[in-house]
């Protein structure tokens, strides 16, 4: 009986290790709840060359009422390159009275981004205008599967 269990466990481990599925990685930082206006710096450790979608993540409360958000996003790659852009992203989020006091909102930012270098990528997200009702901001690194 023990040999059968060991054999089953070995099969499970082998099949799981053969899957090359990288889970989503969400990195978030708390911001000033009254008025988000300062930069949020996020670090993402890239261990392999991968293609992923980048989505902005916001943890919002009932004070949030923006229909779109204007952000400046800076990206520093492990090979010392740097890219800055300003974007305006639509953000439609509604808290119903039956839900909790805060929810997470995921806003698509970039699709099929190639992270070619191993090492630490640093992202700095700064709102171009103050935004009320944001408790935390970050990014979801959603690996292509």
The residue extents of the domains of the chain are 22-143
Two structure tokens written together for 139 = 């990014």
- pLDDT tens track for 29-68: 999 988 999 999 999 998 877 788 999 999 998 888 889 9
Topology of the domain covering 22-143? Jelly Rolls (2.60.120)
State how beta strands 68-76 and 40-46 pair: unpaired
CA 15/CA 59 separation, integer angstroms: 36
Task: Single out the residue of 66, 50, 35 nearest to residue 142, CA to CA.
Answer: 50
* Average pLDDT of span 15-41: 75
The proportion of the chain whose per-residue pLDDT surpasses 90, expressed as a percent, equals 53
> Taking 60 as the threshold, does the pLDDT of residue 92 lie above it?
yes
Of residues 112 and 4, the one with the higher pLDDT is: 112
Confidence of residue 23 (pLDDT cuts 50, 70, 90): low
* φ, ψ (nearest 5 deg) of residue 132: -85, 150
CB 91 within 8 A of CB 69: yes
Residue that has been written with the tokens 């930012």 in this structure: 109
Confidence of residue 108 (pLDDT cuts 50, 70, 90): very high
Residue with the larger pLDDT of the pair 139 and 21: 139
Do the beta carbons of residue 138 and residue 44 sit within 8 Å? no
For the chain, percent helix, then strand, then coil, each to nearest 5? 10, 55, 35
- Write the pLDDT tens digit of every residue in 116-129: 888 999 999 999 99
Average pLDDT over residues 68-77: 95
Classified as helix, coil or strand, 63 is coil
| Res 96 pLDDT > 90 | no
- The single-letter DSSP state of residue 56 is E
| pLDDT (mean) for 65-77 | 94
What is the pTM for the complete model shown? 0.78
């Amino acid at each position: 009986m023990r040999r059968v269990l060991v054999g089953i466990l070995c099969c499970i481990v082998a099949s799981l290790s053969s899957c090359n599925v990288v889970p989503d990685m969400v990195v978030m930082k708390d911001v000033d709840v009254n008025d988000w206006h300062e930069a949020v710096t996020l670090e993402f450790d890239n261990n392999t060359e991968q293609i992923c979608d980048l989505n902005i993540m916001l943890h919002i409360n009932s004070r949030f009422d923006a229909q779109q958000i204007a952000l400046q996003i800076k990206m520093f790659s492990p090979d010392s390159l740097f890219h800055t852009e300003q974007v305006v992203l639509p953000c439609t989020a509604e808290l119903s009275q039956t839900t909790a006091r805060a929810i997470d909102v995921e806003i698509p930012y970039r699709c099929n981004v190639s992270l070619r270098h191993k090492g630490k990528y640093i992202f700095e997200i700064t709102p171009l205008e103050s935004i009320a009702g944001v408790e935390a901001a970050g990014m979801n690194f959603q690996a292509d599967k």
